[in-house]
Amino acid sequence: MKLLNHLQITRYARHLPLIGQEGQARLLAAKVLCVGAGGLGAPVLQYLAGAGVGTMGIVDGDSVELSNLQRQVIFDESDLGKNKAEQAALHLKALNAEINTIVFAEFINLENAEKMIQDFEIIIDASDNYQTRYLLNDLAVKLKKPLISASIYQYQGQCSVFNYKNGPCYRCLYEVPPPSDLIPNCAVGGVLGVLPGILGCIQATETIKIILNRNNILSARLLTVDAMSMQFQEFRIAKNSECPCCHYGKLSRDLFIPTKISVPEITPQQLLDKDEFILVDVREPYERDICDMGGLHIPLDELQQRLQLLPQDQEIVLYCKTGGRSRKAVQILLNCGYTKVSSLQGGILAWIDHVLPTLTRY
């Protein structure tokens, strides 16, 4: 029985010697959800669309920024300021008009996640934060769906397939996330532009293998890559018989969610109304070159060595991009005996949103 029409046979001609018409028909019938349309999501979505995965859900509440284009190659300059999920869907349809895209132009959370996920066969974690990663893991376990997860930072990345045929879940590897303030991120530490391309292609490959029911899935194995040395390593992941999620069945509402360091904070409006204080920027020099609110510039990793610049009898307000590093900085000062210190809630991005929109977002 003929499974593909003439146009499909032509389009997927290079697949057919490897997977046959039946395999290609499986790809066309598959339904995959990709959470995140950024650095990892860009290659995942493009290669799966090219491969003919018939239905792809795309989840992302973020908008395209100029700094994204260094690695999020699904977008171009005409997409700036527009929603990533919506624009990604448009580019995928231009690549392969016969695929079906389902767009969720919002961030995934505890309230909407299960409804988003339930109709898809495979979940791809292309997110950039631990809260989403753990949420996806817990729902993958609950709904009995495989989760293909990757993460990247600077020159290094890792990838694995979780919850595949009763294999280990993400919490078997890392039971609980660290506090969100202690987690490095690409906005601060940077990322080599091609790195998410490598990891995203690995995620797309594992997706295709699962759809085709092939062997040697990257389950119970963690693959790591260092792009500078171009070395790949593999580590075994054991299924944890005491795992709170895949053994005891507890979900994100019952388990640990990333927490913030609790320190004094000040809102942009409160700062605007304040008269006398010392303002300190704890970001990196390149960030200050993009935009700044003024004040002293003391990068976070230099703070303890430059305390002599900060008198303890004056009020001090510290800021960074989104508030994470400035909360760390406040904690450092509190530990050193300072009492009149606070962090700008939401960082300079909140200042741009609420006070000075002419500054450059990044």
Q: Mark whether 282 and 159 lie in a shared domain.
A: no
Please give the average per-residue pLDDT across 173-187, as a whole number.
Answer: 66
Q: How many domains, in total, are found in the chain?
A: 2
Domain presence at residue 241: no
| Helix, strand, coil percentages for the chain (3-state, nearest 5) | 40, 20, 45
pLDDT at residue 2 tops 80: no
Please give the average per-residue pLDDT across 212-240, as a whole number.
Answer: 95
pLDDT at residue 58 tops 80: yes
**Percent with pLDDT over 70 in the chain:** 93
Q: Mark whether 223 and 310 lie in a shared domain.
A: no
CA distances from 258 to 170, 178, 263 (A): 15, 6, 16
Q: Mark whether 294 and 216 lie in a shared domain.
A: no
Question: Where residue 205 sits, what CATH number does that domain have?
Answer: 3.40.50.720
* Residue indicated by tokens 């002293």: 296
pLDDT at residue 184 tops 60: no
Q: Mark whether 119 and 13 lie in a shared domain.
A: yes
More confident residue, 216 or 3: 216
Q: Mark whether 203 and 277 lie in a shared domain.
A: no
Q: Which pLDDT score is estimated for 247?
A: 75
Q: Which residues contact 75 (CB under 8 A, 6 or more apart)?
A: 42, 64, 68, 69, 84, 87, 88, 91
Domain presence at residue 252: no
- Which residues are catalytic, by number? 186, 320
Please give the average per-residue pLDDT across 316-342, as a whole number.
Answer: 93
What pLDDT band is residue 348 in, cutting at 50, 70 and 90?
very high
The values of phi and psi at residue 308, to 5°, are -65, -15
Give the end of a domain, one of 215, 236, 257: 236
pLDDT at residue 94 tops 60: yes
Q: Which pLDDT score is estimated for 179?
A: 59
Q: Mark whether 49 and 148 lie in a shared domain.
A: yes
Cα–Cα distance for residue pair 251/255, rounded to 1 Å: 6
Q: How many CA atoms lie within 13 A of 315 on its CB side?
A: 12
What pLDDT band is residue 193 in, cutting at 50, 70 and 90?
very high
Q: Mark whether 226 and 306 lie in a shared domain.
A: no
Q: Which pLDDT score is estimated for 262?
A: 75
What pLDDT band is residue 256 in, cutting at 50, 70 and 90?
very low
The pairing of beta strand 122-125 with beta strand 55-59: unpaired
The values of phi and psi at residue 111, to 5°, are -80, -35
Domain presence at residue 41: yes
pLDDT at residue 144 tops 60: yes
More confident residue, 286 or 291: 291
Domain presence at residue 81: yes
| Alpha-carbon radius of gyration of the chain | 23
Q: Which residues contact 206 (CB under 8 A, 6 or more apart)?
A: 148, 159, 161, 217, 218
Domain presence at residue 293: yes
pLDDT, one tens digit per residue, over 7-47 is: 999 999 999 999 999 999 999 999 999 999 999 999 999 99
CA distances from 89 to 81, 103, 221, 292 (A): 15, 7, 31, 35
Q: Mark whether 209 and 344 lie in a shared domain.
A: no
pLDDT at residue 135 tops 50: yes
Domain presence at residue 123: yes
Q: Mark whether 153 and 27 lie in a shared domain.
A: yes
Please give the average per-residue pLDDT across 296-305, as a whole number.
Answer: 93
**Percent with pLDDT over 90 in the chain:** 80
Question: Where residue 297 sits, what CATH number does that domain have?
Answer: 3.40.250.10
Q: C-alpha angle with apex 189: 184 to 195, nearest 5 degrees?
A: 100
Largest CA distance in the chain: 83
Contact in structure between 234 and 221 (CB atoms under 8 Å): yes
pLDDT at residue 205 tops 70: yes
Domain presence at residue 182: yes
The rounded Cα 353 to chain-centroid distance in angstroms is 22
Give the end of a domain, one of 236, 257, 285: 236
For residue 165, count other CB atoms closer than 10 A to its CB: 11
Q: Which pLDDT score is estimated for 188?
A: 62
Which amino acid, residue 64? V
Q: Mark whether 15 and 133 lie in a shared domain.
A: yes
pLDDT at residue 226 tops 70: yes
Mean pLDDT across the chain, nearest whole number?
A: 91
The pairing of beta strand 156-162 with beta strand 221-226: antiparallel
Domain of residue 37 covers 6-236
Using a cut of 0.85, tell me whether the model's pTM lies above it: no
Domain presence at residue 110: yes
Please give the average per-residue pLDDT across 330-347, as a whole number.
Answer: 94
Q: Which pLDDT score is estimated for 143?
A: 94
